[in-house]
Amino acid sequence: MNLMTPRVCLLWAALTTLPILAGCASPGSNLPPLRPAKDMSSYRLGPGDKLAIKVLGADELSGQYEVQGDGTIRMLLIGDVPLSGLTVETVEDEITDKLKAGGYLKQPSVSASVVTYRPFYILGEVVKPGAYSYASGMRVLSAVAVAQGYTYRANQNFAIVTRNGENSKADAMSSINPGDIIRVPERYF
């Protein structure tokens, strides 16, 4: 007499197969979701950002400056100015203070703006992984498009975004920031 009815056989097959399939989930699928990107008015500068700085009445100080790997720019008269982690408004205050402290200008008027943001990086299952120029309003899907699309092995359900040293899971419409590292994982089935 057979004790295994078709219903029991089906249940047994499902229970023995599910743990195997669960082990096939793409790495990173259990990460916390990516927090929304902050608006660019509170953007923190870092190496690779390029700024336009204007000092009223001192044309020799005005120009474009790229934040170096050590987080500084080098300006005539005041030397190295640490900018990494500062907002554009804070940069204006920092340069103003240095010009006043050095006695170079009595009432300097400084304005700064970001000309070019540092690149974002995309790797994994995209056609052309690498570093690419950031454009305002970018999303994971537009980053994939810049990298010429997904490979046939790509898991298109999510990507892993590393921001400030923390990994998060992001969907295709998640906003990205300059300096983000995006990894498109491989799918298994």
Nearest to 188 by CA among 31, 14, 27, 13: 27
Same domain, 123 and 31: yes
Same domain, 82 and 68: yes
Chosen domain end from 116, 147, 169: 116
Range from 15-19, 113-117, 172-176 carrying the lowest mean pLDDT: 15-19
Q: In what order do the strands lie in the sheet with 181-184?
A: 130-132, 120-124, 181-184, 159-163, 166-170
Residue 128 tokens read as: 């052309």
Number of domains in the chain: 2
Q: 3-state SS string over 79-97?
A: EEEECCCCCHHHHHHHHHH
Same domain, 61 and 100: yes
- Indicate whether 134 pLDDT > 80: yes
**Is residue 97 in some structural domain?**
yes
**Is residue 20 in some structural domain?**
no
> Residue 5 half-sphere exposure, CB side, CA atoms within 13 Å?
2
Same domain, 106 and 125: no
Residue 50 tokens read as: 């390029």
CATH of the domain at 179: 3.10.560.10
Phi/psi at 122 (5° precision): -135, 135
**Is residue 14 in some structural domain?**
no
Contact between residue 47 and residue 186 where contact means Cβ atoms under 8 Å apart:
no
Q: Which domain holds residue 89?
A: 44-116
**Is residue 129 in some structural domain?**
yes
- The pLDDT score that the predictor gives to residue 10 is 57
Same domain, 84 and 131: no
Residue 37 tokens read as: 């990107």
- The pLDDT score that the predictor gives to residue 37 is 66
Indicate the pLDDT class of residue 81, thresholds 50, 70 and 90: very high
